[in-house]
Each structure stands twice: as structure tokens, then as C-alpha cells.
Amino acid sequence: MSVPAPTVEKNDFIRQIVRDDLACGKHTTIRTRFPPEPNGYLHIGHAKSICLNFGIAAEFGGWCNLRFDDTNPAREDPEYVEAIKEDVRWLGFDWHELRHASDYFEVFYLAAEKLIRDGHAFVCDLTPEQVREYRGTLTEPGRDSPWRNRSVEENLDLFRRMRAGEFADGSRTLRAKIDMASGNINLRDPALYRIKKVPHQNTGDAWCIYPMYDFAHSLSDAIEGITHSLCTLEFEDHRPLYDWCVDKVDLVNHPELLRPLLERGLPNEAAKPRQIEFSRLNINYTVMSKRKLMALVQEGLVAGWDDPRMPTICGLRRRGLTPASIRLFADRIGISKQNSLIDFSVLEGCVREDLDATAPRRLAVIDPVKLVLTNLPEAHEESLTFPNHPKDESFGSRSVPFSRELWIEREDFMEVPPKGFHRLVPGGEVRLRGVGIVRCDEVVKDGERIVELRGTLDPDTRPGMPGADRKVKGTIHWVSARHAVAAELRLYDRLFAVPDPDDEREGKTYRDHLNPDSIRIVQGWVEPAAAGVEPETRFQFERLGYFVADRHDHAPGRPVFNRTVTLRDTWARQGGKG
């Protein structure tokens, strides 16, 4: 599906640029793209970019391509390609066209030959170490490569032999001829092509030379007629190189370079794109580096890319976040040029806001202790009617079984209660949700551990009875011990215990900051109406939090629920671990 354009106009500096470009007639159709590299799974930072690129296209009646910038075959995999497509669709977006930078490899090659003929590129024999040595520093200019002044004929011959596979990996590169004294190190004769004899996930063994990212990315945007190339701030210093590649190749005035696409029936609308940078998403209590996320997976520190503690989109999905909550988060943090750190609670707040409105309610008990209502017959059994959502009648109602023996939360009873405790205590009363008022008469122990509570239900306080409005301070939830279904409940929390896991002071790394309480698995009990649902069904378990039936492990005969988020921000209240 595609997310509809918003009814309320959004305002940020990028949208203002787009409005101005449309108003002055610079563009009639807005064209954007989301260009991930298929070298890992997408995370919440990518979701911000997805919402921006696809959102702007929808808002202004344009279109957005999904393009895989697949120029580094050693790190890319079809698994990542399929996962990225699934994530984009799950977030609620669809693309105008699905493209790959590798679709344009022949165009890139012809463009590189044009740069050589025009005197703007040369084949260099320096090793990678020598290239770094010649590059200079931020305060010292670089030095020209000894191979910089090769003739056009020699460069063309060597480049064609590079393509033919005559030379070893890393032995030669094609470099742009720009300015080794530039204050922008990206312009100091950057590499455009390198030799890499590695099969490609999309083109197989067709190529043994591959374009560098900046070269391929800029020309891909130009080939597709992208009007606004939106990227994060770390690419700001790359923009002069981006523009250099687009201007020197000049696809608009050299359509012959696009011949390979026409022969394959691939449409193109060559144009000069404009790169615009915005701040990337940074959230505390997490890491966003693909390298670090990959290490967490490979070292077994998490259960996989879709571990519900991971900031990956597939992990957040398995955790129970909704596409709407992630889109709301993207809207709420906005778009700016200023890097900032977003508190994790902002994301959790968006999740609660969405699920409060959309998640049906169910009863569940995480840490059970039995409550026996001794004034009911042992065979007592009845069905009570509960609303599925207290704020929305359209959700309907359901039948909840009730019997003499119940499971209640262990923390809802205390023998010696602290001040302000308004739940069950010896000799005290509490309201059972939807049932009536019960009194605790007896505590049964095995040593120091409480194994059972015995009490009585005041029949005059049942719904519809004269005493139903009698006031008591506390209300607790329950499930019928006779009817409840055992469920595996995975209580997830933040993966890291400190706000800045990347802080490496005192010799520590992000691995040292992992939260030992980020997952706790318990056997709880859920009412029958929660047990038989399909995977990825979301509920609010009353008084406990929002949960989702695990998309892989849950089955009607073996329910498994993941806690998405607690009902309140316990981290803020406790100054840390929730």
C-alpha cells in the first residue's frame, strides 16, 4: 500500500525548497529516491529517510524510486535486498520503479571513458597505502600521482584492460583529475573505479571493476531524473564531488551515454539533480552503526537482525511497533540541518499513542499467585462480558471466563504494605476488574514464599447489584486459573543500559554497556481470547503494557508474546533502568 498524502501541511526547509522549485517552474514533477546499500538490514534511521523521500513525493504529487546502490559486491547479499523491500512495504510505502545502480554499470563505464577522453580521469598505479600517503592532510595539500599525466590513449587502453580482467585486485584504480591542493579532501583526485574480482549479487560475474559510491550514486540520480537528492549531513562534504561528476559527465547533453539503457528498454529521464542534506537520526540508548549492529549479530550478543531489542526495522516490527507509530515518530522529530540526540522515550511515546488507540485489551498475568474465592462453589464457572476497548465501542466486546480460582499478579499483594499501597493486603479489600470486591482472609505459604491467597467475593458488589458502586481504592486484574492459557512472555527493554553506548572512555566499548535486563522470559497466563490469535496481533494487556504475538514463534497452541512497551515511561521515573 501507499501512505496517503497528509491532510495537514508539513513545513521544514526541504519542503520549502520543493515548494519554491515548483512555484518558479524549475520542476513540474518532483522525483525522489530512497537509495540503500544492500549490505545490511535497515534501521530506524533509515525509516526517517524512507518517510522523508516517499512522503515528499506523495505530498507534492511526484514519485519516488527504490534504488539499491549496489556498488560493493563483497558486502552485499540478495538477503538484504529482499529484506529492504519488505521493510519499505511494511512501513506503508511503494515505489515508482525498483532500480539498482548495477542496472547502470554499462552507462557508468561509458561515462568513465568520456571523462578519460576529456582529460578528467586517469588510471593510477599507486597502492592504497601510497594513495593515502599522497593525499595530504587537512592542513597540508596532497601530491600529484606520478601517473596523473598519462596520455588519453594510454589511460583508455589501461582502463579497458582493467575491465577485461588483466590486472590484480587493487593494482590499479581510475581516478578523477580534480585538485590535489583542494581544501576538501574528497576532491583530491578521488577514485572512480577499482578492480574487485568478486561476483555481484545482481550482475554475477559480468564485471571485475566496480564504480565507487560517489560516482555511481550521483550518476544514478542523474539517469533517473531525480530532482531532489536527499541525504544526511555526512555527505555535505561530498556534494562538490557529486556535482563534479554530474557536470563533467553531463548526461543531459550526451544522451549517447544512455544507449545501453535504451537497448534494454529501461526508461530514463536524465536531469541534473540537486543534493540537499539533513541531519541523521541519533537516538540515545542505542547504536546506529551498521558495523556495530552487524557485530552484535555475528557475535551472538543478540538473537539476529530481527531481535526485538535491535533498532532495525525488522526488529522493531517483531517488537510490536506499528508502521503508523514509526511514521508518527518521523513526523514528530522533524527535518533540520542541526544534528541532535533524540530521547528513546520519544519513540516509545509515539508507540503508546498509536497502540492506545488501536490495540484491543486483554487480560494476562505475568508473575502469578493463586487467589481462591472460598465462598464460591468449587465448580463455579461463568462468562463475563468485557469491552475490547474502553474508549472505542466499535471494537465490540468479548466473553471472559470467570471461576473460583484465579491468577493475580504477585506484586498486587503485600503482607506488609508500604505507605500508599492500595492493592490486596491481609484483611484488606480490592476490586477485581469487572467482577466485584474481594477480601483477603488467609495467606498460604511454603516456607517464606506465598503460594496461595484465600479470600471471599462480596456478591453485593457484582455488576448490577446494589453495592456495585461501593468504593475501594484499588482495582486489580486477573485470569481464570481453570481457563487461562499458559504463554511465554518475553519482557523486552532497552538493549543498552547507558544513554551513550558509543562512549569509549575508560577503555569501554558498546559491548560493555549492554543492558543485562534487556530481556526476561517468563511463563505467564493469558485469557483464552488472547491465546488463539494470529502472529503479529497486538494487545494491551491491562495494567501490564502493550504486547504482540511473536511473528515467528507464536502459534495458537503455544502462545508467545513480546512486550512492545510498558504503559508508562519507567526509565524516566527511575532515572535509568526500567
C-alpha cell at 506: 575508560
Q: Is 377 annotated as a binding residue?
A: no
* Rounded Cα distance, 368 and 362, in Å: 16
CB count within 10 Å of CB 229 equals: 25
Are 187 and 219 a contacting pair, CB within 8 Å? Answer: no
Distance of alpha carbon 350 from alpha carbon 475, whole angstroms: 27
| 213 assigned binding-site residue | yes
E strand or H helix at 154 = helix 152-164
Annotated binding residue at 232? yes
Ligand-binding annotation for 45, yes or no, is yes
272 is an active site residue? no
Query: How many angstroms separate the CA atoms of 74 and 569, rounded?
Result: 42
Does the annotation flag 109 for ligand binding?
A: no
Q: Is 10 annotated as a binding residue?
A: no
Return d(Cα 76, Cα 69) in angstroms, integer: 10
37 marked as binding residue: yes
43 labelled binding-site residue: yes
DSSP designation for 4 = P
Instruction: Confirm or deny that 38 is annotated as ligand binding.
Output: yes
What is the number of residues in the chain? Answer: 578
Q: Is residue 321 annotated as involved in ligand binding?
A: no
Strands 479-480 and 405-409: antiparallel
| Catalytic residue (choose from 37, 277, 348, 542) | 37
Q: Which one of 15, 85, 196, 280 is the catalytic residue?
A: 280
Q: How many C-alpha atoms does 344 have within 13 Å on its Cβ side?
A: 26
Residue 292 marked in a binding site: no
The reply to whether 519 sits in an annotated binding site is no
Q: Active-site residue 361, yes or no? A: no
The catalytic residue among 31, 290, 398, 423 is 290
Please give the Cα distance from 399 to 223 (Å, whole number).
60
Is 506 annotated in the active site?
no
- Pairing, β 191-195 against β 209-211: antiparallel
Q: Is 290 annotated as a binding residue?
A: yes
Residue 208 near residue 105, CB atoms below 8 Å? no
Whether 519 and 550 have beta carbons less than 8 Å apart is answered as: no
Determine if residue 227 is labeled as part of a ligand binding site. no
User: Is 289 flagged in the annotation as binding?
Assistant: yes
Which residue positions form the known binding site? 37-39, 43-49, 69, 213, 232, 280-281, 288-290
Which residue positions form the known binding site for ATP? 37-39, 43-49, 232, 280-281, 288-290
By annotation, the residues acting in catalysis are 37, 280, 290
Which residue positions form the known binding site for L-glutamine? 69, 213
